[in-house]
Each structure stands twice: as structure tokens, then as C-alpha cells.
Structure 1
Amino acid sequence: MAVSSMASTSPASPTSPASPASTPLAGAPTGTHRSDLGLFMALAFGISWASWGTAMGLGGSAMTSPTALPYLFGAFGPLLAALVVRVRRRRRGEPVPEHAVRFRSRALAWLPLFLVATSATVLGAALLAQAAGGTALSLDGARDVMADAGGPAAFLVSMIVSGPLSEEPGWRGTAYPRMRASMGRLQVGLLLGVIWSVWHLPLFFIDGTVQNELGLATPSGMLFAVSVIPMAMLTAYAYERAGVVASMVTHFAANTTMILLDVHTPVTLALVVGLMGLVAAFLLTVSRSTPAPTAPMPEPPGAS
């Protein structure tokens, strides 16, 4: 979540007969999953942390030159890592991982639900915090944020690119299905959430980021870092239901709502963590998992 940074898939369509030697089974060996996962993690962290380390070395605000370039480039570490893993897999002639969720046009009907439900979770936490005596909700901060971004259109584009587009093809489209090969859905959601949270840590040391303004050693900063975990679980559920596009929508909704509502106080962040965590854990626990395909799957957009 670079806030600076719900139907199972149908079986694969029948394919023409082919010899066992020429037609790979769906899914790849566990060793291959681990190899690809290790490569993805090394590249995602390496690209992002090297770029953000450069930004820290340059000093200055993340939004001004020359710091802005390495800062922004660092957000694309997961996407670039996913592309490398995808090219590598295709060159080896391996099938799409068993738990990768293909894109289906009818899944688009779920996107408004993910958008509204995720935003409502953050809004509900903010309203509960206000009722408990916290900061009253106001649109003044939202107007300022959009004005600083160059207007509503520029703000929305930046929120789509920074986070959803730059991260989801990596964390959900690449890492998630490979981790699912040997772990349950809830376990993957939790573990990938911790990894995702650690990946964000350098942002706390770059001037001008939301994380830096909160401060890592403050209650708000620590709760922000923890909030990445239930968000990872919620985006994982969205991915399992409708693929990478759905996880991007969920990521976008959470980031955008938190920024527009200026979610930063410890009480509000704690309620976001609790409410989103309960919703995500419930959905991952009780909903039906994506069935394993019985034939080789076509290449799904965003999955590697």
C-alpha cells in the first residue's frame, strides 16, 4: 500500500489432445515456485530499497527534484520483479501457477462492490473514531490534497499508478499464487502482509512521505505499518475472487479513502486495523477458495 503509498474461477476450457510430453500439467513443481518466489522477493526489495536509499541519500522532499525520481521509481519494484519472473517462466515453457486467478470479463461486475466495501470499511473506522471523541471528519483536507496534486483527475491518476498498478501485479499476481502452493489462504494473507509492511519501511525515512510525517517510532507510525497486514488480507480476498484488477481496485479504495479522510490519529488507525482485519479474516475463512484447474490455464493478465 504505497500511500506515500468477490466468484471463484471457472474450470479451464477443454484443450485439444496432446501427448504428456508436450502438454504441461497446471501448476509448477514446488521447487520452481520457491525459485520464482525467491527471485521475485529479491528483485522487489532490491529495486525498491536501492531506489529509496538513493532518495534518502539525496535528501530533500520526495516530491521535488532530484529526490522525486528515485522515490517514484522505487514504488515500481514489485511490478518490475513480476515482469522478470513472468518472462523467465515463459522462456522455460512453464504453465501459470495453479492458484493464479485468470481475468474474466464477468468479474468486472464485482469491482464496484470491492470499491464501495473497502472505502466503507475505512469510513466506518473514521466515523467510530469521531463518535469516540476523535477528530471530526472534514472535506477541507481532501480539497487541499487534490489541489496539491494538480486537481481531482491528476490525484486519481496518481492514486491508481502509485500503489495499485505499481504493486498489485507483483504482490498478488506473482507472490500470492506461489505462496498458496504450500500454504492456506489466511496464512498467506498474514505472511504476505508482514512482508509487504517491511517493504514499506524505507519510506519512513524519506522526507515528504506520509510515513515520514507520521514517524516510525510513534503510535500512528507503528499502527500505519500494522494496517498494511489486514489490507494485504483484503486485497488477497479480492484477488482470489476476481484477479489482479480486483486487488488493484481494493488497494486503490483503501489508499484513497485514507488520504481523503486524513486518517492519521492512533485511534482511527487502530480502528481501521481492527475493522479491516475482522472483515478480511472472515472473508478468507468462510468463503470458497479458488478451485485448482484441471487443464493448463491460458495466460491471465497480471499473473505470472
Structure 2
Amino acid sequence: MPTTTPARRPSGLVLFFAVTFGTSWASWLLAIWLGGPAMSAPVAIPYVFGAFGPMVGALAVRVRRGRRGEPAPDHVVRLRPKILLWAPLLMALASASVVGGALIGHELGAPAVTTANAQELFRMAGGPVPFLISMLLIGPLSEEAGWRGTAYPRMRATAGRVRAGLVLGAVWGVWHLPLFFINGTVQADLGIDSLSGLLFALSFIPMTLLINHAYDRAGTFAAVAVHFAVNTTMVLVGVQAPVAMAYVFTLEIVLVLALLAAHRPASIPAARHVDHAAV
């Protein structure tokens, strides 16, 4: 007798992307309409809230999964304490790719790498600690429960890690588009029609593959750590010149290729893992 395969329920990707883009873009469009610098009142409220779109999307998927009684996706990676040693190493490698690219860029005409930019940022934030807290909150913590903890494991159900990384990187880059039109953002300073803006958009591909690798190694905690390292180093060093961004982009690709070649996880996990930050 022929057997009937139970219908597979949606993975939650459509819901995640719909809520993520809806929350972020609606907030950022409001910030654009209000005008003024990103961190000035009242623009700062929708500007900051928009950064939490991926987290809101992740919560929406988690609530639906809980109501349906569905298990976590097979490719969810739990927090792995013994492998957390990889997080500092990957953070150092990620930061080194940014600094290395900036140094090479300087040799070819880009501004020199100095501490002046970092000192000014610390002064504006009220000190190094508030600055680092803001860099951790806006970006790594506000996004990684969504991009890595929710979207990536579900994409891995039907795609390899490279293909999933390429697609997620492209989606992540598109998600940032409204920020080019909010005064005072890094994206607006680069310009959407500039070479630096193009390189910024393209950089999400190797950055996604790098953070995905960290997630595969040690879960969402490692993804947050590497995301934080890249963002913070880019801001502190002040990488904006096209030649410097081009070399950062190149070094990140080299780093990602080396990491992918060195670590080849099984296509199907031997056992399902549960990450408390994953949904």
C-alpha cells in the first residue's frame, strides 16, 4: 500500500522575514520622515527600535512554534562551553581582518589608522564602557537571535552552509537599505551611490559566512561575539575610504575561505541540539 508522507509545516522563515522587515523598515521610514540626526530626539526612538526587528521576528517565530508544539530545527546549535574558546579566537581574527585591511589601505592612500577616532567616539558616548555597551546592544544582541538563532538553522534545512550564507548575507544587506537615508548613520555617511556604499553592502556576504561559522562552532553566543568584534573594530578604526573597505572585504573573504576549508561539519547533525537563544 502506498504510504502518505505527513505534510511538512512551514519552517517559519516567511513569518520571520515578514515581521523583521516590517518592524525595521516601518520604524526606519518613520525616522526618515521625522528627519534630523539618527540619535537626536525624537528620531532616535524609531531608529533604535528598528534595529530590534530581527529580535521581534525571532520572538514571533518562537511564539508560533510554542503554540504548535513544534521542535527546534535540526540545525540549531546549542551553547557549547567547551568550544567557547573559539569565540575569542574568531573575534581576534575578525578584528585583525579589519585592521589589516585598513593598514593596507593606508599604504595605498586611505587615512592612517590612529586612536583619534576612538577617542572621539568614547567622548561622545560618555566613556569606553557606554560606547562598548551601545555597540553590543545595537547590532549583535538586537539581531543575532534572529539572523543566526532563527533564520540560519531553518535555511540549513534545505541548503548547505555556503548557499545559506550567501542568501542570508544578501537579505541582511537589503535589510540595511533604509539606513542610507537616515542622517547621522554610518550608511548615510558612506552614501548609497558611492563605491564605499557598494562595498558596505557586499561586505555582508563574507561577514555572514564568518558569523555563521562562529554559530556552527558554539551557537548564538559566539555569533554575537564575532558580530560585536567586526562592528566595533570597523567603527573604532573608522574604515570608510573605498580602498580600505576593499581590502577589508578581501581579507574577510580569505579568512572565511580558510575557516570553511578547516571545518567541515556533517550535513545532518548526529543529534538535535537546543540553543536557549535560538527559536
TM bucket, shorter chain: over 0.9
Say which is worse superposed, 139-148 or 105-114, in terms of deviation: 105-114
CA contact (8 A) 2:81 2:218 kept: no
Secondary structure of 2:158 counterpart:
coil
* Per-residue CA distance 1:91-146 (angstroms, 9 max, x = gap): 21111101110112223222211221110111111111122332211110110011
- Give the Cα–Cα distance (whole angstroms) in 1 for the partners of residues 17 and 259 of structure 2: 27
1:251 to 204, 213, 227: 227
Tell me the residue number matched to 1:237. 213
Matched ranges for 1:189-228 at <5 A: 189-228=165-204
Change (3 A) 1:124 1:296: closer
Task: Name the Cα RMSD after superposition.
Answer: 1.6
1:181 to 157, 160, 166: 157
- Give the Cα–Cα distance (whole angstroms) in 1 for the partners of residues 7 and 111 of structure 2: 52
**Identical-pair percentage:** 51
CA contact (8 A) 1:235 1:250 kept: yes
- Give the Cα–Cα distance (whole angstroms) in 1 for the partners of residues 47 and 93 of structure 2: 31
- Give the Cα–Cα distance (whole angstroms) in 1 for the partners of residues 103 and 266 of structure 2: 34
TM-score, L = length of structure 1: 0.86
Secondary structure of 2:70 counterpart:
coil
How far 1:84 moved relative to its partner? 1.2
The residue type equivalent to 1:32 in the other structure is: P
CA contact (8 A) 2:87 2:214 kept: no
Tell me the residue number matched to 2:15. 39
- Give the Cα–Cα distance (whole angstroms) in 1 for the partners of residues 228 and 210 of structure 2: 12
Aligned residue pairs total: 274
- Give the Cα–Cα distance (whole angstroms) in 1 for the partners of residues 267 and 160 of structure 2: 13
Give the 4+ runs in structure 1 shifted more than 6 A.
none
TM-score, L = length of structure 2: 0.94
CA contact (8 A) 1:186 1:285 kept: no
Matched ranges for 1:103-122 at <5 A: 103-122=79-98
Tell me the residue number matched to 1:167. 143
Say which is worse superposed, 147-156 or 107-116, in terms of deviation: 107-116
CA contact (8 A) 2:135 2:232 kept: yes
Tell me the residue number matched to 2:122. 146
* Per-residue CA distance 1:198-253 (angstroms, 9 max, x = gap): 00000000011011111100111111111122111100111011100101111000
CA contact (8 A) 1:121 1:276 kept: yes
Matched ranges for 1:60-139 at <5 A: 60-139=36-115
- Give the Cα–Cα distance (whole angstroms) in 2 for the partners of residues 214 and 45 of structure 1: 22
Secondary structure of 1:124 counterpart:
helix
Structure 1: give runs of 5+ residues left out of the alignment: 1-27
CA contact (8 A) 1:40 1:82 kept: yes
Secondary structure of 2:264 counterpart:
coil
* Per-residue CA distance 1:35-55 (angstroms, 9 max, x = gap): x00000000000000000000
Secondary structure of 2:278 counterpart:
coil
Is 1:302 the counterpart of 2:277 in the alignment? yes
Secondary structure of 2:59 counterpart:
helix
CA contact (8 A) 2:160 2:267 kept: no
Secondary structure of 1:159 counterpart:
helix
Tell me the residue number matched to 2:259. 283
Change (3 A) 1:194 1:109: same
- Give the Cα–Cα distance (whole angstroms) in 1 for the partners of residues 261 and 18 of structure 2: 30
CA contact (8 A) 1:75 1:167 kept: yes
Change (3 A) 1:296 1:277: closer
